[in-house]
């Protein structure tokens, strides 16, 4: 029984080989929503949205440009400004992204709500299809095409979502700019 289970695990079809691994886009951009926490300062606002000019207005430190920075860089910047203004002596600041609205994926074709979706940390193909309302009645779940730009080229692959659901292949991690197209079933 154990040998059969091990054989089943090893025969798992790998992720599409021609699709480059996703590039983690973690810099903050216009429209992104993040949570900034300062230990011991629970009464301060904690959720911020990046303005069209790439800035955020923080309590005690005023407006800071955060677009293009990594979350830890924003935390360090706010910490330095709090200490510089002698507001806090040794603050502990953390930043976590809630929504990457500046980084999007497109879900097109035979889904309930085709369109552009904000990329979420760790987003996968199944999650994107789910956020687009799921497949409609004429969707071909075996012909889902993912297009990805990588090193100046557009690469695409077709995967079977049925195989992902049946654990025959792993779910496909997405990156900002990916385009997903769900084909129509042939009747």
Residue 145 three-state SS: strand
Give all domains of the chain, ordered by start, each with its CATH number.
33-99 (3.30.1950.10), 103-184 (3.10.560.10)
CB 104 within 8 A of CB 119: yes
Q: What's the CA gap between 180 and 106, in Å, rounded?
A: 6
pLDDT tens per residue across span 147-178: 998 888 999 999 999 999 999 999 999 999 99
Question: What is the 8-class DSSP label of residue 13?
Answer: P
Whether pTM exceeds 0.85: no
Residue 49 three-state SS: strand
CB 100 within 8 A of CB 70: no
Q: What's the CA gap between 98 and 120, in Å, rounded?
A: 8
Q: What's the CA gap between 117 and 26, in Å, rounded?
A: 16
> Which residues of the chain register pLDDT less than 50?
1-14
pLDDT tens per residue across span 48-60: 999 999 999 998 8
How much is the mean pLDDT over the chain? Answer: 88
């Amino acid at each position: 029984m154990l040998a059969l289970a091990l054989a089943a695990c090893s025969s798992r079809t790998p992720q599409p080989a021609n699709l480059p691994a996703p590039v983690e886009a973690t810099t903050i951009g216009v429209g992104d929503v993040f949570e900034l926490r300062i230990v011991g300062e629970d009464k301060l606002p904690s959720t911020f949205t990046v303005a069209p000019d790439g800035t955020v207005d923080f309590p005690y430190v005023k407006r800071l440009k955060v677009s293009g920075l990594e979350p830890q860089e924003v935390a360090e910047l706010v910490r330095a400004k709090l200490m510089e203004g002698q507001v806090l002596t040794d603050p502990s600041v953390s930043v976590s992204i809630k929504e990457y609205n500046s980084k999007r994926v497109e879900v097109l074709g035979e889904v309930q709500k085709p369109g552009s979706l904000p990329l979420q940390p760790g987003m996968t193909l199944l999650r994107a299809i789910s956020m687009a309302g799921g497949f409609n009645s004429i969707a071909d779940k075996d012909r889902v095409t993912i297009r990805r730009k990588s090193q100046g080229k557009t690469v695409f692959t077709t995967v079977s979502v049925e195989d992902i659901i049946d654990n025959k292949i792993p779910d496909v991690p997405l990156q900002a700019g990916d385009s997903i197209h769900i084909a129509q079933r042939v009747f």
